[in-house]
Amino acid sequence: MIDNFKPLEHRMELVGEYEKITFYNDSIATIPEATINCVKAIPNCKTLIIGGLNRGIDLSLLTNFLMEDNSLENIICLKDTGYMIADELEREGCKKRLLKALDMEDAVNLAYKYTKENYTCIFSPAAASYNVYKNFEERGKHYKELIRKNGKASN
């Protein structure tokens, strides 16, 4: 029975292993709590891609988590909320690598550049997609396309 279970697309979805990095798509995560739970649930996460439309949601729970979490090494930030989070983490003296991506393609390129082999990168934005995409599905599909286009599948 469990062998036949098919998880939902865009919900902690395994994209695959490329360039010896495991990639997950959690594009449906549009609130901080969903992103926090995703990072806690998926092992070996060293890189997190966050950010999207600013809907005025309180991001302090997420910024506190990112400050305290010892597993993450890289936080790749997309406009608008990702930039806000990066600025807040910098003000708080965060020691993680904070990278502001121009767009999703830049974010994926940064993930390939900075995620060490045998570790995981998660896209879990904690924000809506409407500043760039029609919806979270379009955003998640674009992320997956870029992962597959820019990396070679690991054996």
How many domains is the chain built from? Answer: 1
Give a yes or no: residue 2 inside a domain: no
Mean of the per-residue pLDDT values of the chain: 94
Q: Mean per-residue pLDDT for 106-129?
A: 97
Confidence of residue 153 (pLDDT cuts 50, 70, 90): confident
Give a yes or no: residue 1 inside a domain: no
Structure tokens at 117: 């082999």
Q: What is the dihedral of CA 58, 64, 67, 68, to 10 degrees?
A: -150
User: For residue 93, which amino acid is it?
Assistant: G
pTM (two decimals): 0.94
pLDDT at 154: 74
pLDDT at 51: 97
The CA distances from residue 78 to 3, 59, 107, 152, in Å, are 36, 14, 7, 24
Give a yes or no: residue 150 inside a domain: no
Confidence of residue 4 (pLDDT cuts 50, 70, 90): low
Q: What stretch of H or E contains 149?
A: helix 136-150
Give the closest residue to 24 by CA, choosing from 127, 144, 149.
144
CATH number for the domain that contains residue 37: 3.90.190.20
Q: What is the dihedral of CA 6, 7, 8, 12, to 10 degrees?
A: -160
Structural domain range at position 79: 8-145
Confidence of residue 5 (pLDDT cuts 50, 70, 90): low
Distance CA 139, CA 17 (A): 20
pLDDT at 152: 84
